[in-house]
A = this chain, B = another copy of it.
Amino acid sequence: MEIQRVVRDLVTTKRLGTLYAKSLRVVEDYKGNLSVALDPIGCKPGDWVITIGISAARYAAGNPNITTDLTIGGIIDHWSEEEWRS
């Protein structure tokens, strides 16, 4: 899994049915690279999260028919910009 930070929501009105109506978040890694993760937890911008990729992302979404390759798996209790970039 990767340590990422939630940046903002992402709205895709025109989307595949296999993404259902699941919330998508833009997340960034410690280098500032942006990705899009499905959020089954309900995160807000600024939250430090762990993201789950590969086939596990579909199962983490609660239903393997949900076609995600990145899903937020949890909110980190204690993290800081310093730890991240060290």
Interface residues of A (CB under 8 A from B): 1-3, 10-16, 18-19, 24, 26, 30, 34-38, 40-41, 50, 52-60, 65, 67-71, 73-78, 84
Contact = CB atoms under 8 A, between A and B. Distances in A.
A74 B19 contact: yes
Query: Which applies to chain A's interface (DSSP): helix, strand, loop or mixed?
Result: mixed
Nearest to A70: B1
Given A1-B37, A54-B57, A54-B69, 11 more contacts: A1-B24, A1-B68, A3-B34, A3-B36, A10-B50, A16-B73, A16-B74, A34-B84, A54-B55, A56-B57, A56-B68
A14 B63 CA distance: 19
Nearest to A11: B77
